[in-house]
Amino acid sequence: MQRKLPPPEQHAVKLRDIAEAAGVTIATASRSLNGIYGVNPLTRERVMQAASRLNYRPNRLARGLVTGRSQILGLIISDIRNPFFSEVARGVEDAAYSAGCDVVLCNSDLDPQKQNHYIASLMAKSVDGIIMNSVTALDQAEQERLALSGVPVVLLNRFTSLAQFSTISADNEQGGRLAAEYFLKMGHARLAHLTGPRHHGNLSQRAKGFLQAVREGNPSASVIVAHGNHTLAGGYTMGLKLFREKHDVTAIFAANDALAFGVLKAALECKIKIPQDVSLIGFDNVDLAAIVHPPLTTIHQSKYEIGEAAVNVLLRLAKAKDKSPENRVLGVELIERESVRNLKSKGAKVSR
């Protein structure tokens, strides 16, 4: 059976068509459609009905030339497969949609070349702002060019040395402290901290809080710190190395939940029982943390709210004359589940 071709598209409805259908001037039709003050409500309603009847779709590009705004936001993250970023991205998308904006998502893999490519591409699209989880892959000159570009940037981590950018982050240092204090309260003194690359804003702050709290709470406690990829694969690799080298650690603080899931996989392969042999705390409290075995004790941060806040800051910067950077820090809390063993309980001992 021969497939019929779709009917030819009708000509694009223009503002002049709306004005003629509603019996108003082009200027009045424009003010009505854009919600500008000073139009009689009955006239505005007549214009809106004409636009609906003619199936009018405003030309966003043309409107952007007038308003100076594209109503497009860029989101550059390291990897959407990380459940932390998927929740942040949902917060960004929902807030942007409510504000009448679209979001362009880019995965950088923290690769400087990819990150530069996406920044240039987003700027070519005249985005109203860029949300990104790191600029540390860029050299100082590239960071300065980005700061002077006129495009507002909100970082999803806090770098004290990058005061020219706005930031939205959780209280990462406090989260690290909460993990350390909980381990010490449970009687653990031989600890390991598995984290990502050195000099990573959020992860470095978590390590700082964790190590300081251990020193303050039990100066005789020992901590092994291992750096690697802050992914499930990275946690698996570092966990295997830790278990196979027969370190006598009784507790591991993973710098994010993805790392913690990798540790769980390595423990299963090495026949290490969590928490009977080794206790484990993550960071993020992604949805999967509650349903892995055992359910993961972790530090909760408000991922969706971080995305929402980033959009709100961007929109303020895009509209306001005052372009001063804004820094917001959201609170954290420890979510106690079943992956930490209490060594102070009567008769408790590590089985391996």
**Which of 202, 126, 128, 207 is CA-nearest to residue 171?**
202
- Look-up: residue for tokens 């809080």? 209
The DSSP bridge partners found for residue 224 are: 192
86-92-95-101 Cα dihedral, nearest 10 degrees: -120
pLDDT tens by residue, the chain, 352 residues: 444 444 444 456 777 888 888 898 888 887 787 666 678 888 888 888 888 888 876 655 455 444 455 689 999 998 888 888 999 999 999 999 998 889 999 999 878 889 889 999 998 888 889 999 877 667 778 888 888 888 889 998 766 566 788 899 999 999 999 999 999 999 999 999 999 988 777 899 999 999 999 999 999 999 999 999 889 999 999 999 999 998 899 999 999 999 999 999 999 999 999 999 999 999 999 999 999 999 999 999 999 999 999 999 998 888 777 778 888 999 999 999 999 999 987 656 555 5
| Structural domains of the chain in order of their starting residue, each with its CATH number | 15-58 (1.10.260.40), 72-171+303-332 (3.40.50.2300), 172-301 (3.40.50.2300)
Q: Which residues face 191 on adjacent strands?
A: 223, 251
Which of 89, 92, 69, 70 shows the shortest CA–CA distance to 81? 89
Residue position matching structure tokens 């408000």: 302
Dihedral angle at the C-alpha atoms of 68, 71, 76, 77, nearest 10 degrees?
A: 150
Cβ 344 vs Cβ 183: under 8 Å: no
CA 58 remoteness from chain centre: 31
For the chain, how many residues are written?
352
Q: Would you state the structure tokens that stand for residue 82, as one six-digit string? A: 């990380």
Phi, psi of 152 (to 5 degrees): -60, 140
CA distance 72 to 88: 17
